[in-house]
Chain A
Amino acid sequence: MPVQMPDINLVTLLPEILIALLSLVLLLKSAWGDENRGGSISAMVIAGVAIATAITLRGGDTTTFGGFFINDAFARFMKVLMFLATGLVLFMSQEFMRRNKFDGGEYQVLTLMALLGGLIMASAGDFIILYLGLELMSLSIYVLAAFRRDDKRSNEAGLKYFVLGSMASGFLLYGISLIYGTTGTTLFTGVATALQAGTGHISPATVMGVILVLAGMSFKVAAAPFHMWAPDVYEGSPTSVTAFMAVLPKIAAFAAIFRVLLVAFPTLHVQWNPVLQFLAVASLAVGAVAAIGQTNIKRMLAYSSIGHVGFILLGLTTHNALGFQSVLVYLAIYIFTNVGAFAIILLLNREGIGDEIDDYKGLARQRPMLAILMAMFMFSMAGIPPLAGFMGKLYVFMAAIEAGQFGLAITGVLFSAVGAFYYLRIVKLIYFDQPKEGAFTMVMDLPARAILTVAGVIILYWGIFPGALLAWSAAGVKVFL
């Protein structure tokens, strides 16, 4: 039997290869380099991520390895978001890493590996690649969650995430095996062709497979009712890791959900859409209601992220161009809002406070600029104009109305109003309460200033001039139309 090589075009994989090589080099450097190398390693990571972003932006539409790996406008959009998320979070957590002795190099290597897994998921054209990318990302983040190994809560977070995440991977794999069993292929396009050929008869096993795959992915984005792990893991993990896991896995998993549902199972739209609608409404409800009673800001942001996932899923259920576009827009805005909020939490962490919501009392009296920024991030999450968060929600609702889903749109608006309560509570604490003696005296350094400025400016800019973001996301979703 002659050996047949698939078409291999390594240029398609260039950003991924770069990230993989960089992490290997850093691993060697951290093993043999001198002590106190955290600064230079972080600088190398950020430079590498910037180069990979540039390469990604210049890439053209290609596929390689027989359709296993796809580089199209959609993948590029998601990848640039992931690069931004990783780069910004690493940049802002340098001081935190130094203080907690995370800067031995392994932390950055694991972060890069998680990023690599995410990139692979966004480009996957096959269930096997998707699963491997997911495992690479998840495994790295399990370790990161438990990185503060002398801290009981960090250990608990890592273990909880690992056990429940393995369960979710099991669901995903079982779903994939059912799909493979009924269609005879794991390639997304192959599955779609096989299902189209057998129109009229859809095997219940295929539907079960799709639902199991959706359940596995919902766990990764923490959509209700698969969200139970999120508050505990967010609270227990080191804050820099929480910031990272609040953004990267969501982008990657949504990219994968998009591709699986729209490329492999467009014919099963009737079957999976109700599931998505249920997930969306449940996430909106959990995100809005459960966050109200929280006293820890990381737990509150965990519930808030569940609510945001609800909105993103709402955009996906509309199944029209505007809806898909709104998902991409929402994700982009979500990243900057979250990065900004976590930057402020990390800043307060320098004084050993900032995890409890009450720690923010009276921030405005001492640090008016920080207070304005925090209020902006909270208003943006609540969806108050003229900030970017409003634009995100607006497009989701517009898409829902265009699709004739008035019930879902009204539900979304109602839960958004309920959710506004706990965001506004923080603004109230910041502006109308008395600070403790000697609080908020931390020093701002350059990374903190830079991140806060960038996040603040972008949230304001996209809120008023969303044109560029819209055009970019429109190009991204063209693949699926």
Chain B
Amino acid sequence: MATDIVFYFFSLITVFAAVGVIASRNQVHSVLFLVLTFFNTAGLFVLLEAELLAALLVIVYMGAVAILFLFVVMMLDVQFEELRQGAIQHLPMGIFVGVMILAELIVILSGVHLDHHAVEVTAKVSNTLAIGQVMFTKYLLPFEIASLILLVALIGAVVLTLRKRTGVKRQNISKQLARTRDEAVELVKVTSGEGAKP
């Protein structure tokens, strides 16, 4: 009973926060709503006794991803109001499709008995240990492929954004260290009242 109350508490806030992400006018508020969504989802994970996933969600998604989002939103001057101009005219169609899919899913999932044997929870082993044991044994191959995907994301980000610009003043340490006194310092005799000439 108590867990039920906690479950509905977390899931209600999750749903409302998720709506807030797309509905709020200020994009910084959107990101903050996103953080709220993540946090409540983490709460749901704790209810499932998946404490590692909950911790990862808080650390990685709230601590890193959402903060990065916040940075990007604040640094890029994206006019979200302009982007939203066309949204109103597509709204009826969007709501229609969304409601249809929701109704279908409710019909389908209401009569379904989901297989509770899907996850074997071994009580004696902690969550972290259990995930670690399958991640580097049974799921070694997916783990390696995922690392390649991250590499591609890295390369892609560099390829699409790095520009070699000419005429930019950059610090070149070896060049600085190689300078000698002769080429760096010039002694000028200044006559009084005339100022230094370049």
Contact residues of A with B, CB < 8 Å?
1, 3-6, 8, 20, 27, 65-66, 68-69, 106, 109-110, 113, 116, 120, 128-129, 132-133, 135-136, 139-140, 142-143, 146-147, 149, 158, 180-185, 203-205, 208
In Å, the complex CA distance between A8 and B160 comes to 37
When distances are taken between beta carbons in the complex, the residues of chain B under 8 Å from A1 are 122, 124-125, 129-130, 133
Stretch at the interface among B84-92, B112-120, B178-186: B112-120
Count of CB-CB pairs between chains A and B under 8 Å: 96
Instruction: Report yes or no: B155 in contact with A183, Cβ–Cβ below 8 A.
Output: no
Q: Are A128 and B133 in contact (CB under 8 A)?
A: no
- CB-CB < 8 A to B129: which residues of A? 1
- CB nearest to B119 among chain A residues: A184
When distances are taken between beta carbons in the complex, the residues of chain B under 8 Å from A110 are: 152, 155-156, 159
**Contact-residue bracket for chain B:** 35 or more
- Other-chain contact of B149, A69, A135, A208 (Cβ < 8 Å): A135
Shortest Cβ distance from A136 into B: residue: B149
Q: A284 to chain B: closest CB distance in Å?
A: 25
Asked if B141 is at the interface (CB within 8 A of a chain A CB), the reply is yes
| Chain A residues closer than 8 Å to B19, beta-carbon distance | none
Indicate whether A20 sits within 8 Å of B148 (C-beta atoms), given known contacts A106-B159, A181-B115, A204-B111. Answer: yes
Query: Is A132 a contact of B115 with CB atoms below 8 Å?
Result: no
Task: Name the B residues within 8 Å of A147 (CB-CB).
Answer: 159-160
A132-B142 in contact (CB<8A)? yes
Q: For B118, what are the chain A residues with a Cβ–Cβ distance below 8 Å?
A: 180-181, 184-185
CB atoms of B115 and A183 under 8 A apart? yes
Known: A116-B148, A208-B105. 12 other contacts (CB 8 A): A1-B124, A68-B142, A106-B158, A129-B145, A136-B148, A139-B149, A139-B156, A142-B156, A143-B156, A146-B160, A181-B115, A204-B111
Q: Choose one: B137, B141, B160; the contact of A143 (CB below 8 Å).
A: B160
In this assembly, does B109 line the interface, its C-beta being within 8 Å of a C-beta of chain A? yes
Taking a contact as CB atoms under 8 Å apart, the answer to whether B141 and A65 are in contact is yes
- Interface centre among B105, B124, B125, by most chain A C-beta atoms within 10 angstroms, is B105
Q: Mark B148-183, 1 if CB is under 8 A from A, else 0.
A: 110111011011100000000000000000000000
Please tell me if B138 contacts chain A, counting CB pairs below 8 Å.
yes
Indicate if the CB atoms of A27 and B155 lie closer than 8 Å. Answer: yes
Chain A's closest residue to B115 (CB) is: A184
Q: From residue A10, how far is it (CB to closest CB) to chain B in Å?
A: 10
Bound Cα distance from A205 to B111, whole angstroms: 9
Majority secondary structure, A binding face: helix
B112 interface neighbour in A8, A20, A205, Cβ under 8 Å:
A205
Across the interface, do B145 and A120 meet the contact criterion of CB distance under 8 Å?
yes
Which A residues lie within 8 Å of B148 (CB)?
A: 20, 113, 116, 136
- Check B146 for interface membership: any CB of A closer than 8 A: yes
15 contacts between A and B (CB under 8 A): A1-B125, A3-B137, A6-B138, A6-B140, A27-B155, A106-B155, A106-B159, A132-B145, A136-B145, A143-B152, A147-B159, A147-B160, A184-B118, A205-B112, A205-B114
Residue of B nearest to A120 (CB): B145
Q: Are A139 and B114 in contact (CB under 8 A)?
A: no
B159 touches A69 (CB 8 A): no
The one of B113, B114, B141, B146 in contact with A68, judged by C-beta atoms closer than 8 angstroms, is B141
B139 within 8 A of A: yes
- Closest residue of chain B to A66, judged by CB? B138
Nearest Cβ on chain B to A137's Cβ, whole angstroms = 10
- Asked if residues B112 and A136 are in contact (CB atoms below 8 Å), the reply is no
Q: Does B190 contact A (CB under 8 A)?
A: no
Does B1 touch A at the CB level, under 8 Å? Answer: no
Say if the beta carbon of B108 comes within 8 Å of chain A: yes
Residues of B within 8 A of A142 (CB): 156
CB within 8 Å for A203 and B112 given contacts A6-B138, A20-B148, A140-B152: yes
Residue among A4, A142, A143 with max Cβ neighbours from chain B (10 Å): A143
Smallest Cβ-Cβ distance to A106: which chain B residue: B159
For A140, give the chain B residue with the smallest CB separation.
B152
A124 to chain B, nearest CB (A): 10
Query: Given A27, A146, A184, which contacts B117 in the complex, CB threshold below 8 Å?
Result: A184
**In whole Å, how far is A42's beta carbon from the nearest beta carbon of chain B?**
17
CA distance A158 to B145 in the complex (A): 23
The 5 closest A-B pairs by CB, nearest first: A143-B156, A184-B118, A184-B115, A132-B145, A204-B108
Please measure, in the bound complex, the distance between the C-alpha atom of A135 and the C-alpha atom of B107, giving whole angstroms. 31
CB distance from A307 to the nearest CB of B (A): 27
- Please indicate the chain A residues that have their CB under 8 angstroms from the CB of B146 in the complex: 132
On whether the beta carbons of B112 and A182 are closer than 8 Å, the reply is yes
Contact with A132, one of B108, B149, B155 (Cβ below 8 angstroms): B149
Of residues B111, B138, B151, B155, which shows the largest number of chain A Cβ atoms within 10 Å of its Cβ? Answer: B155
Contact B160 A6 (CB under 8 A): no
| Known A1-B133, A113-B148, A205-B109: A143·B155 in contact at CB below 8 Å | yes
A1 to B125 CA separation, bound complex (whole angstroms) = 8
- The answer to whether A113 and B152 have CB atoms under 8 Å apart is yes
Cα A333 to Cα B112 in complex, Å, equals 44
